[in-house]
Amino acid sequence: MLTLANSALLSSLYDSHHWLLKLMETSKHMPVHNGALLEEEVRLSGANNTGISASDFLRKSGGVTVPNGIIRVSGAKNAATRLMAAALISDDPCYLSNFPTELVDVRHKARFIESIGGSAVFHADTDALAIDASQLGSIQPDSYSVPIRTTYLLAAGMLKRFGFARIPYPGGCKIGSRGYDLHVMLWEKMGCKVVEAADYIEITGTPRAFDVSFPISTIGGTENALICGSMLEGRTTIRNAYISPEVANLIEFLIAMGARIQVVGNSFIEIQGSSTLRGTTFQVLPDRIEALTWIVFGAISRGNILIQDVPFGHMEIPMVHLREAGVDVFRNSHDAYVCPQSFINSTIQPFEVACGTHPGIISDMQPFFVLLALMADGISRIYDYRYPERTAYLEQLSKFCPGAISWEPGKIVVNGRASLQGAEVVSTDLRGSMVLLLAALIAEGESKIHNIQMALRGYNNLLSKLDQLGISLELGNE
């Protein structure tokens, strides 16, 4: 593999891109424009500070869009939203850096936190969030409508202080069966009573340390057990835990607050919790799914994209599969450069991948391998054993290339060498929405994507980052 250390060779290979190669050598010393639209310090007001509603759409006109520029990967959505909830069990303020301040999901969660007396202050210029739960009250919000999945993590902070919590029902993307029964089981093991009301879940009782053995490997259950166990005096154990990079980031945060946590193997966790937890300053890890998104976009568009802050340590197997598909990116320890020469045999090769659990290709990455397969030189197959019902977006994606994709639960077959034509489509879920947007950008003709807010749930400063790549889109309202 060529590396950035061999800059002389790269320069000789890519004289036409000399300016970008120079940026690659010095990228760690350059200030990065994050396109933030907020003032230096903004307190949340309103449900959605992105200014984009569920009825909005994006329109792309003209021919194929070839990206050219620099992108910095933001903090991971699946870590940031969990750290927000974990900060509620601290007795002091917490400061989260590398925080994706413009994500729709974090804005929804911050709105709820403030509605129950907490404080969430976004610092857009430094990509940070200051969160203070010391004034959390037993007041009830005006609305329990919070369209995110991880509402169950909000219960711990209220249970610690009052022995009482009312939380919204989990929302989020509809990609199969993802119930909350494991969380009910968890709360009951803590000694709490759970009542499912019309608009909210009510948990009452004095929680105590517990032992839990999950019947299935569960990220959400592991996160909830970690947060609850860390605030309870005594020994808590978690069996059949799912320790993803984002869960590991949560563990590091809880340890920084004062919990003692030991991980044995890859599925057993022991916690010595404490009723007194200190505030801390902590960095959100970069988003591996966003990093993969931009790498795939660079490959299918044959553009020139320098991607900064790529968490390669958490992407080893996906990167192996990309290379086996003929995509060989230029990289150093933290950055990746994708260009027309990043192909082993000048084309994307057909492939087979199976989506499951980390450290492999996770289900959230599945749509991007489907999109990559559309540009491959042959038939590819993608299997999803984690969420076999993650197929709703495929009907919409097929409108760009009728007949190129066939699917059944758990299995997707893609006929490559597809010629994408502009289409009018509707977003169905977060990752699927982003794939529809990328497909529109490489398709000939005009495309229109409805409910584009779906993509903004998972991609921080998305429209600004596209602008940095030279991509202009029309935003409209139905």
If asked whether residues 55 and 83 sit together in one domain, one would say no
Is residue 269 domain-resident? yes
The model's pLDDT over 299-347, given as tens digits with 9 standing for 90+, comes to 999 999 999 999 999 999 999 999 999 999 999 999 999 999 999 989 9
Helix or strand (DSSP H, E) at 300: helix 288-301
Task: Give the domain CATH number at 44.
Answer: 3.65.10.10
Is residue 144 domain-resident? yes
Is 173 catalytic? The answer is yes
The model's pLDDT over 207-256, given as tens digits with 9 standing for 90+, comes to 999 999 999 999 999 999 999 999 999 999 999 999 999 999 999 999 99
pLDDT at 457: 84
Please give the DSSP secondary-structure letter assigned to residue 417. Answer: S
Is residue 126 domain-resident? yes
Cis peptide before 359 (omega within 30 of 0): yes
Is residue 1 domain-resident? no
If asked whether residues 98 and 165 sit together in one domain, one would say yes
Question: What's the structural domain count of the chain?
Answer: 2
DSSP secondary structure of 33-51: -----S-SSEE--SS-TT-
If asked whether residues 203 and 232 sit together in one domain, one would say yes
Is the per-residue pLDDT at 382 higher than 80?
Answer: yes
Domain boundary residue, one of 283, 300, 333: 283
If asked whether residues 257 and 334 sit together in one domain, one would say no
Q: Which residues are within 8 A (CB) of 132 and not within 5 positions of it... i.e. 6 or more apart? A: 92, 93, 94, 118, 119
If asked whether residues 218 and 360 sit together in one domain, one would say no
Is the per-residue pLDDT at 145 higher than 90?
Answer: no
If asked whether residues 153 and 251 sit together in one domain, one would say yes
Average of per-residue pLDDT across 396-412: 98
> In which band, very low, low, confident or very high, does the pLDDT at 24 lie, cut at 50, 70 and 90?
very low
Contact yes or no for 270/237 (Cβ under 8 A)? yes
If asked whether residues 122 and 161 sit together in one domain, one would say yes
If asked whether residues 323 and 235 sit together in one domain, one would say no
Is the per-residue pLDDT at 54 higher than 60?
Answer: no
Is residue 244 domain-resident? yes
pLDDT at 262: 98
Domain boundary residue, one of 263, 283, 303: 283
- The side-by-side arrangement of strands in the sheet containing 94-97 is 42-43, 119-123, 128-132, 94-97, 281-283
CB-based burial label for 410 (10 Å; 0-12, 13-18, 19+): middle
Please give the DSSP secondary-structure letter assigned to residue 348. Answer: P
If asked whether residues 126 and 247 sit together in one domain, one would say yes
Is residue 2 domain-resident? no
Is residue 365 domain-resident? yes
Question: Distance between CA atoms of 385 and 141, rounded to whole angstroms?
Answer: 39
What does R_g of the chain's alpha carbons equal in angstroms? 22
Domain boundary residue, one of 267, 283, 299: 283
Least confident of 26-30, 62-66, 368-372, 438-442: 26-30
pLDDT at 177: 47
Is residue 278 domain-resident? yes
The model's pLDDT over 248-283, given as tens digits with 9 standing for 90+, comes to 999 999 999 999 999 999 899 999 999 999 999 999
Helix (H, G, I), strand (E, B) or coil at 70: strand
Per the prediction, the chain carries an average pLDDT of: 88
**What is the residue range of 225's domain?**
77-283
Is the per-residue pLDDT at 10 higher than 50?
Answer: no
Q: Out of 94, 173, 192, 401, which one is annotated catalytic?
A: 173
Which residue do the tokens 């350059």 mark? 30
> In which band, very low, low, confident or very high, does the pLDDT at 376 lie, cut at 50, 70 and 90?
very high
Least confident of 11-20, 161-170, 242-251: 11-20
Contact yes or no for 252/76 (Cβ under 8 A)? no
Is the per-residue pLDDT at 16 higher than 80?
Answer: no
If asked whether residues 49 and 169 sit together in one domain, one would say no
- Angle formed by the axes of helices 366-374 and 430-442, to 10°? 20
The model's pLDDT over 121-137, given as tens digits with 9 standing for 90+, comes to 999 999 999 999 999 88
- The side-by-side arrangement of strands in the sheet containing 474-477 is 424-426, 447-450, 56-60, 474-477
pTM over 0.85: yes
If asked whether residues 410 and 429 sit together in one domain, one would say yes
If asked whether residues 195 and 324 sit together in one domain, one would say no
Is the per-residue pLDDT at 102 higher than 90?
Answer: yes
Is the per-residue pLDDT at 71 higher than 90?
Answer: yes
> In which band, very low, low, confident or very high, does the pLDDT at 147 lie, cut at 50, 70 and 90?
confident
